[in-house]
Structure 1
């Protein structure tokens, strides 16, 4: 019996699957805490140069004398949004100092400062303030954030391969142990270089944990529930994002924040006894007895009756069509479609994580912006669930990208010409952009899986995900570029860039064929013809041939030709 047929008899989403899926979702929520944590713990607090020789110098102006002293030592900023230069101060060549009518000191030179005082309005301490990663060294914070997403890239490849070779359960548990150890180690990093290296490991472990959990969740359910299972886990991930803003608001010391978010992974250690190996993977490895033991347990909990003989272990497998991933680049039609998919993956991941990291730079309440950035993902995923099977993958993806991109571009006017008076509108537009990015992220996953031919589907989807991580790595640089540019345009630049690329990617997706209610391509030839009348005629002829085949021939075709299966 085909495994999908077994899940239909077992219950496509029975009590047993719901329990295991809940465990996977809890893990996804905890992983969500770390997905954009760099936006908080690597944020740059308001700061100015420390005045030489002044003991107990603080960022807050204590009295008029303190104000005058700061004004004499630190030049005014050229940016009207700032009061003082954050990176330079006056070095006096003599002990006798006078000021001309423009308050410029005589016998003084402008030098870069090496120590700073920080505001405690938003943070008690961040990694950047602890290690003084400011001014000329500010780029290091972007590198560290990118290292996390470079780790995500490595984790997607390494743990994806391990999951297929060693099994889902062992890979999941290894990821849990590595995530717990590395995240706790992050809080006790001895220096900034050590923190950056450990942050890369955290990124790899978090992706291994989410990726393997996603596969387990999808493989547990029946065919009609796969899209639902693939999207609902994203709700759990968004819960982690929202929870991070609450924890960050009350715990403003970065080490305590990391420890509190890391400790829940200790609960995942119990999953060794709670989470079974994927029976679908066991069957693919011909470990039928172990697979049947899992299914019999599910049978008891779901209170259903499965056939006594689930597997015919001696059946001769029908040779399946084969394909090579490189064939996607040797045909002009497949090449164009593959490049469009790759570009959309890169842009949507860049926008999704870039807008999350940039939410703290929008102005207004830092933690409220972070909260809203996670909250808008819930309506985004709801839009996908409600309309994906109604208006199609292509049109919905295009709409989400263009709407999100247009709202981001619209912030040009609110930031450059409105300022603080239109701060609420700026935040609203940015949040709509994040909503569109979140919805598009969920759609592109499903759309890619359906568009690529079966013979190269897993490898093509994995390659798309890996290429998309380029957007992850680029996102921190674009989000932090605003701070480096400075001024009103600096605040608007990330949103302008995200908006423009989103519109371009959304328009390019219109050149892809629709997959809704279509027989999915199975061979490379199918992939080339997909979306044309010739493909529909070909599938209709095959269907007519199947109707006149003998029952035993029909049975042999079921596992591959009549049922399209895909996982993460």
Structure 2
């Protein structure tokens, strides 16, 4: 073999293989990166407890006596109504005793003017939102709508100023607006801050994920994703337990958002992505990161490897510049004019929308199930842990496409049939099964989508997918309202979206153990190789 050819084939991933995916250098950086991910896990769930429904009833000024509820408050489906009371007789000469059964017309129900709250731990009591479910569900919708701004904003900051700066900006924004929200004076102030916090800080997870992904080689990506998912789950469980213990939404917000402000120090202690340095032509800074990793991990990388990687990065950058100048277009415009990129953007965005709708929808609806709302939510979150272990085992063994498509289709099968299962243990098992498989699909999608886009605009394109996909999470808080028309309508909707997603996955290329594409040209070659493989497979089957 020609030695010159061998030299040209050395890539960054070859150096990463020598450095090892989880040496001391990466462990240090991952510990720093995973802390904001843990916080993000809390922030993604907290709105469920801020606006949790409470136990309350109509206030009956004429007779505030709990023993008189049988003839002052009507009963529907075996429970006392929250929003209706019995009207007093117009002609009250029958009796002067306002707590007498004769004082109330039990054939006439009227809406409440005010409420008696038996619990005080959510904004429902503080801002008097009794029987205004749309205001409660609006909290979750407004929160998730903030991601339409934050994710592309974080992506632009990440690609222009670095992954580290994007992470710090988003984390500090989370902390500042979250703490201020804890001191909201009214519902209007609260809802504005509920939007601003994720609008400026909701891109933390994406920024952290891209930085972590670019620090390891192909063999470390799935395990890195597992670490992220685990920390995210721990965040969700932690905020649930804190809410249960504190029974105060103000104390809860202050406690969980204050640490995020401290992430500001990451500007000095967190390592920037060498891939980002290379994409910006800062080759010396990028190589310094790799050499620092080599020193900390106490391994030896041949010097010519660094020289070859630098030359390769320079050639790729020059090729992109040359191509851009020839067509008088920016690289980003070239990407958007590429049918390949449009295809991947559309498919990944739809997959993201379906995933977030089903994933968050199942979590939110779990609070509405019978039993302890906190325990329900914890169980639905914890079921994600075995799903993430399954992802670690299956993604590299069976490939991204097969695992994700199977997970989507099994989610669809379970949730569409959920309504036909009698209430009880089997019904609960099916519900948890749906959450298990959608978690497997959704979390695998992060790895899959990141691998199909080129490095120089990976964060931006991933952010576009995630942003458009947030349509699902913005709509998810409204799905419990569908149950008022038909109890199982939410799960049927989730099943249909999952089925469509499972079919679309097959139109994307397999990325298992493939080099991350660093340019549009490499992404096109990736797609071409996939088509050739599928054609050969079809020909072989035809011959057999």
Name the TM-score class by shorter chain: 0.7 to 0.9
- What TM-score, normalized by structure 2, do the two folds share? 0.82
Distance in 1 between residues matched to 2:512 and 2:303, nearest whole Å: 37
Aligned to 2:376: 369
172 and 85 in structure 1: CA distance in 2 versus 1, 3 angstrom threshold? closer
Distance in 2 between residues matched to 1:454 and 1:283, nearest whole Å: 10
Distance in 1 between residues matched to 2:343 and 2:154, nearest whole Å: 29
Q: CA deviation at 1:17?
A: 0.7
Distance in 1 between residues matched to 2:54 and 2:136, nearest whole Å: 12
519 and 534 in structure 1: CA distance in 2 versus 1, 3 angstrom threshold? farther
- What TM-score, normalized by structure 1, do the two folds share? 0.79
Q: 1:92 touches 1:108 (CA, 8 Å); kept in 2? A: no
Distance in 2 between residues matched to 1:166 and 1:519, nearest whole Å: 25
Q: 1:118 touches 1:129 (CA, 8 Å); kept in 2? A: yes
Distance in 1 between residues matched to 2:293 and 2:514, nearest whole Å: 33
The answer to which of 298-307 and 184-193 deviates more is 298-307
Aligned to 1:553: none
Q: How many residues align?
A: 505
Q: CA deviation at 1:364?
A: 1.2
What does 1:249-260 align with in structure 2 at a 5 Å threshold? 249-260=244-255
Unaligned runs of 5+ in 2: 1-9, 324-330, 537-544
301 and 464 in structure 1: CA distance in 2 versus 1, 3 angstrom threshold? same
Q: 1:91 touches 1:110 (CA, 8 Å); kept in 2? A: no
Aligned to 1:198: 193
Distance in 2 between residues matched to 1:324 and 1:365, nearest whole Å: 53
**Structure 1 residue 13 and structure 2 residue 22: aligned?**
yes
**Structure 1 residue 506 and structure 2 residue 502: aligned?**
yes
> Alignment partner for residue 349 of structure 2, among 342, 346, 363?
342
**Structure 1 residue 170 and structure 2 residue 168: aligned?**
no
Q: CA deviation at 1:148?
A: 0.9
Distance in 2 between residues matched to 1:105 and 1:246, nearest whole Å: 43
Distance in 1 between residues matched to 2:353 and 2:211, nearest whole Å: 25
Q: CA deviation at 1:73?
A: 2.6
Aligned to 1:317: 315
> Alignment partner for residue 229 of structure 1, among 224, 227, 242?
224
The answer to which of 501-510 and 104-113 deviates more is 104-113
Aligned to 2:416: 409
Aligned to 2:55: 46
Q: CA deviation at 1:157?
A: 0.5
Q: CA deviation at 1:301?
A: 1.9
203 and 66 in structure 1: CA distance in 2 versus 1, 3 angstrom threshold? same
SS in structure 2 of the partner of residue 532 of structure 1: helix
> Alignment partner for residue 24 of structure 1, among 21, 33, 40?
33
391 and 296 in structure 1: CA distance in 2 versus 1, 3 angstrom threshold? closer
What does 1:106-505 align with in structure 2 at a 5 Å threshold? 106=105, 110-120=109-119, 124-135=120-131, 137-306=132-301, 310-311=306-307, 317=315, 319-320=319-320, 324-327=334-337, 339-414=346-421, 417-418=422-423, 422=424, 424-451=425-452, 460-482=461-483, 485=484, 489-490=486-487, 492-505=488-501
Q: CA deviation at 1:530?
A: 5.6
1:456-481 CA-partner distances (Å, limit 9, x unpaired): 86654333222211101111111344
RMSD value over aligned CA atoms? 3.3
SS in structure 2 of the partner of residue 111 of structure 1: strand
Q: CA deviation at 1:409?
A: 3.3
Distance in 1 between residues matched to 2:86 and 2:453, nearest whole Å: 59
Distance in 1 between residues matched to 2:413 and 2:220, nearest whole Å: 33
Aligned to 2:327: none
